[in-house]
Amino acid sequence: MSWLCGLVGEGISSSRSPAMHEREAKNMGIPLVYRIIDTHQWKGSVQNLPDIFHWLERFGFNGVNVTHPYKQAIIPLLDELSDAASAIGAVNTVIFKNGKFSGHNTDWSGYAANFKQTLPNASLTSIGQIGAGGAAAAVAYALLSLGATELKIFDVDKKKSHDLVERLQNLFPLAAVHMAQSAEDTLNGASGVVQTSPIGMDSHPGTPFPSSLLTEKQWFSEVIYFPRETKLLGEARRKGCPTVSGIGMAVFQAADAFELFTGLTPDRERMLREFD
């Protein structure tokens, strides 16, 4: 059997996902092709998602990953959702099978695995999170699943942050989940900070907040992996913060998606070693 997979998103022409999936398939001795579907290249938008997924199925794709800005917009087009995807309210992996689209979320499991491996003793007492989009929902779900007792979330889109806080508080009633009013408010008093907005990507350069708001006593986590070190991650490291890059999350979520696509178990540590 052979597999045809891909990634749907905007501004993703430089994504490392094809290399990760195809290299591990080659290591396992199986035929797998992974293609980029970048709506930015042909000025597509969320309105084109139904047509995109219709044609992906017609072309024989086994499944696709979904990234910014479509992780939440794709949900109405799906026939089934995994428990995690339903709880998080975001999908990053879609499987085409038996004429149905099933949505999954491997961002949260990938983030949790990377965080535990990189900072096993990090304090989860109070966490400040920047961003409330699709990746943010998965990261927040992961942190609360790992035992975070307080989570403050800020997004420039107030409705997004309000809705995410409400969803998470219902899912984790024993934790304190708050909507912050500013980045400064989010970081103030936090034992750790996680950056989940797209700001810092090659296609969205800059920083979501000034690094002067960070202290060396806080750990800092980034979800962006291209570039492998965002400006903010580099500044946090130079300040002395224990850091978690987005690379491990990218690799481990890809490994979980690979398993969903193929039904086969990849070598996660090998994928991590070979990322470069």
pLDDT at 271: 97
In whole angstroms, what is the distance from residue 248 CA to residue 117 CA?
9
Q: What is the pTM of this model?
A: 0.91
Check the annotation: does 141 bind a ligand.
Answer: no
In whole angstroms, what is the distance from residue 261 CA to residue 7 CA?
12
Check the annotation: does 92 bind a ligand.
Answer: yes
For the question of residue 71 being annotated catalytic, the response is yes
Check the annotation: does 131 bind a ligand.
Answer: yes
From 43, 71, 100, 239, the catalytic residue: 71
**Domain spanning 3-105+249-274 has what CATH number?**
3.40.50.10860
Same fold, 3-105+249-274 and 123-241: yes
The tens digit of pLDDT for each residue in 192-208 reads 999 999 899 877 899 99
Quick one: fold of 123-241? Rossmann fold (3.40.50)
**Cβ(266)–Cβ(258) below 8 Å:** yes
Check the annotation: does 246 bind a ligand.
Answer: yes
pLDDT at 204: 86
Check the annotation: does 72 bind a ligand.
Answer: no
Q: What is the chain's length?
A: 276
Closest Cα partner for 199 from 235, 175, 223? 223
Q: Is 185 exposed, middle or buried (0-12, 13-18, 19+ CB in 10 A)?
A: middle
The tens digit of pLDDT for each residue in 172-230 reads 999 999 999 999 999 999 999 999 998 998 778 999 999 999 999 999 999 998 888 99
DSSP annotation of 32 reads E
Other C-beta atoms lying within 10 Å of the C-beta of residue 35: 16
pLDDT at 203: 76
- Name residues of the chain where pLDDT drops below 50: none
pLDDT at 14: 85
Domain spans in the chain, listed from the N-terminal domain onward: 3-105+249-274, 123-241
